[in-house]
């Protein structure tokens, strides 16, 4: 399980695969000097595991060029990025100004 650590806020725990995709989208936005919010809710999602684990039911942070942002992983990346997932995340943040972790396209639905 990886962590997204934003300034002095508590770490937002995100599974490594999902975090790699979020990192790619976040860094692309910041390279273009585009600010946006990152929001999360407590809901099990990706790969039958919780994609995001944290203490509260909902949270949001404002991400901009001036903010300190750090991505930390449990292990080195060993798989390629899903271009359809990157496109979905990128299009969502571009149209709404809000980045949320969405289920990976083509991934099996989580068992409930």
- Per-residue pLDDT of 80-100, as tens digits, reads 999 999 999 999 999 999 999
Which helix (H) or strand (E) covers residue 53, if one does? strand 52-53
Write the pLDDT tens digit of every residue in 15-38: 899 999 999 999 999 999 999 999
Q: What is the pTM of this model?
A: 0.77
Note the pLDDT of residue 35: 95
Domain spans of the chain, in order of start: 2-95
Helix axis angle for 83-96 and 16-31, nearest 10°, is 50
- 13: tokens are 């725990």
pLDDT value of residue 56? 53
For tokens 């509260």, the residue is 56
Q: How many CA atoms lie within 13 A of 80 on its CB side?
A: 3
């Amino acid at each position: 399980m990886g962590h997204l650590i934003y300034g002095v806020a508590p770490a937002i725990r995100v599974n490594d695969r999902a975090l790699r995709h979020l990192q790619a989208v976040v860094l692309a936005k910041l390279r273009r000097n585009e600010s946006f919010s990152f929001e999360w809710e407590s809901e099990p999602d990706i790969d039958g595991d919780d994609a995001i684990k944290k203490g509260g039911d909902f949270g949001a942070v404002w991400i901009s060029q001036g903010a300190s942002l750090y991505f930390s992983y449990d292990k080195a990346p060993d798989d390629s990025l899903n271009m359809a997932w990157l496109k979905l995340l990128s299009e969502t943040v571009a149209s709404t100004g809000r980045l949320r972790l969405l289920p990976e396209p083509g991934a099996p639905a989580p068992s409930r």
